[in-house]
Amino acid sequence: MINSPEPTIGRSITPLLSLRGAAKAFGPVIALADGVVEILPGEIHALVGENGAGKSTLVKILAGLYSLDAGEFLVQGKPVTFRTVADSKAAGISVIYQEPTLFPDLTVAENIFIGRQPKNALGLINRSAMRKEARALFEQLGVRIDPDRIAEGLSIADQQIIEIAKAISLDANVLIMDEPTAALSGLEVERLFQVARALRANGAGILFISHRFDEVFALCDRITVMRDGEYITTHQTNEVTSPQIVREMVGRDIGALFPKVVAEVGKTVLKVSDLSRTGVFADISFAVKAGEIVALAGLVGAGRTEVARAIFGIDPYDHGSVELHGARVKPNNPQAAIDAGMGFVPEDRRKQGLVMDLSVARNAALTLRNRLSRFGLINAATERRAAEDWTTRLQVKTRSQEYKVSTLSGGNQQKVVLAKWLAIEPTFLIVDEPTRGIDVGTKSEVHRLLSDLAGRGIAILMISSELPEVLGMADRVLVMHEGRLTAQLDRADATAESIMHAATAKLERSL
């Protein structure tokens, strides 16, 4: 039996989009058993649920990527059948996915207008008009991005903004935002919210998918909850609380979201001295001790990830040094960092942390290939056993270790990245946005894991854009602004206000 969501505005209003009893299976795997969602004109509607709840499958049905096995799909009150993405776009639906899908070799403007470039009288692409329209979109969003810039090398934040501009340019009356703020700073999020509210005021409907409850409650009119591929219920946002939504999402009480256990702090493991890279960051000095979780906070673009990549040897630096256990680590050499005992969980798990076409087992054992290799060959059974140790400990949900890692939910993909690096038994671990785009239940599991690792004496450098995560998990907080450290705060002194002050005011605090 389908529990239909109640409209906010009134039953006489025809929904822009209505999906009921939606079902989708892939062989024996049931991805969606009873999907239900309704989007009204002039509303922002949240869709929440754990990773694996069926949200992504539902969105792909709306986008025309998947066809329904069963169910009713109405647009403007009329039954529709989408066979292609073009069908969905023609119906006025535009989707912004969690992971950007830009063409790296094209310019920003070309990415926005790909396949529909403005033409001049001769039928040639009018690049001047295309740039002008792109600039107008960015002005509407309140951001500055050069339309002529090549997309390759852009931050995730800029890529997401370009995806949003692309969607807005299509004049869709239904906009689906799948974790659009996952890599945006507070100011960028607020700009996005201003755009979303303007679209709502003009009668558009927005389906907003996010694991950040503060965003859901600040922005959305209604909330639909899914669990295990099924519709649970729909609430008016002002009639429900976060704890109630969490219980409905996970079907259980998850305990503390930040299960921080104060660990015994030991000797210095990592020491960074005067690390500088021209035009990127300058004079970065700090230390991380055994058992410590040190958070590197700041707005997107402050240089946090760049510092982490330099420490691990992915990117070069011009001046300074990195030491692990008192021994200098060879710069610009990730293998030297690994050999010294470093692990690095990157921000973008799909592009930098995993090989999406390889199996769960192969991904989890990638860091062990040199150890497992015999005469240049790796025994598959040995590889599976090595991978299974940590994937079992981290409770990676998969039907088989041989399934492609691309088939897993975002939270389980993140666990595989963690498993890959924990397999080498690091003494120092960098985790860059460790819970970006994963659900509240898995966030709690990742936080508990980080706390446990610190308790075992591992030194952890955690980069996070989520202030609750920084405040909940860090023993110390280092704040960056425009490539420089502007504050170092002990756990007892760290507040949202003190962190944001240091993140926005250049060098106003002494280190």
CA dihedral of residues 211, 215, 217, 219 (deg, nearest 10) = -130
**287 in the same domain as 208:** no
* Helix, strand, coil share (%) of the chain residues, nearest 5: 35, 25, 40
Give the pLDDT band (50/70/90) at residue 468: confident
Stated length of the chain: 511
Q: Is residue 510 part of a domain?
A: no
Predicted pLDDT at 463: 96
Cβ neighbours for 155, distance < 8 A, ≥ 6 positions apart: 183, 300, 301
Cβ neighbours for 156, distance < 8 A, ≥ 6 positions apart: 100, 182, 183, 347, 348
CA 362 – CA 451 distance, rounded (Å): 27
Predicted pLDDT at 12: 61
**291 in the same domain as 214:** no
Give the pLDDT band (50/70/90) at residue 349: confident
Q: Ramachandran region of residue 311, left (φ > 0), alpha (ψ -120 to 50) or beta?
A: alpha
Give the pLDDT band (50/70/90) at residue 3: very low
pLDDT of 385 higher than 70? yes
Give the pLDDT band (50/70/90) at residue 474: very high
Facing residues of 29 across strands?
26
Predicted pLDDT at 369: 77
Q: Residue 331 belongs to a domain with what CATH number? A: 3.40.50.300
**203 in the same domain as 279:** no
Q: What is the pLDDT of residues 92-110, one digit of tens each?
A: 998 887 667 899 999 999 9
Domain holding 403, by residue range, is 267-503
Q: What type of residue is 438?
A: I
Predicted pLDDT at 7: 41
Facing residues of 95 across strands?
176
**317 in the same domain as 462:** yes
CA 214 – CA 496 distance, rounded (Å): 14
Predicted pLDDT at 2: 36
The domain boundary residue, chosen from 251, 286, 317: 251
Percent of the chain with pLDDT over 90: 50
The domain boundary residue, chosen from 251, 279, 295: 251
Predicted pLDDT at 1: 32
Residue with tokens 């690091």: 426
Predicted pLDDT at 281: 96
Q: What is the pLDDT of residues 417-427, one digit of tens each?
A: 988 998 889 99
Number of domains within the chain = 2
The domain boundary residue, chosen from 225, 251, 277: 251
pLDDT of 375 higher than 90? no
Q: What is the pLDDT of residues 31-44, one digit of tens each?
A: 899 999 999 999 99
pLDDT of 256 higher than 70? no
**327 in the same domain as 279:** yes
CA 281 – CA 45 distance, rounded (Å): 40
Q: Please provide the DSSP assignment of 278-324 as one string.
A: TTTEEEEEEEEETT-EEEEE--TTSSHHHHHHHHHTSS--SEEEEEE
Q: What is the pLDDT of residues 288-345, one digit of tens each?
A: 999 999 999 987 778 999 999 999 999 999 999 999 999 999 999 999 999 999 999 9
**306 in the same domain as 215:** no
pLDDT of 28 higher than 50? yes
Mean pLDDT calculated for residue range 261-289: 94
Q: Is residue 385 part of a domain?
A: yes
Straight-line distance from the first to the last Cα atom of the chain, in angstroms, rounded to the nearest whole number: 61
- Sort 206 into a burial class: Cβ within 10 Å, 0-12 / 13-18 / 19+: buried
Q: Is residue 459 part of a domain?
A: yes
Per the CB < 8 A criterion, the answer to whether 34 and 2 are in contact is yes
Q: What is the pLDDT of residues 132-183, one digit of tens each?
A: 999 998 887 767 899 999 999 887 678 878 887 888 888 788 999 988 876 6
**272 in the same domain as 169:** no
**428 in the same domain as 461:** yes
**221 in the same domain as 91:** yes
CA 246 – CA 308 distance, rounded (Å): 33
Q: Is residue 146 part of a domain?
A: no
**292 in the same domain as 247:** no
Q: In angstroms, how far is CA 51 from the centroid of its own chain? A: 12
**303 in the same domain as 349:** yes
CA distances from 99 to 161, 212, 347 (A): 12, 17, 12
Specify the higher pLDDT residue, 4 or 85. 85
Predicted pLDDT at 185: 66
**280 in the same domain as 246:** no
Residue 432: enclosing H or E segment and its boundaries? strand 428-432
pLDDT of 506 higher than 60? no
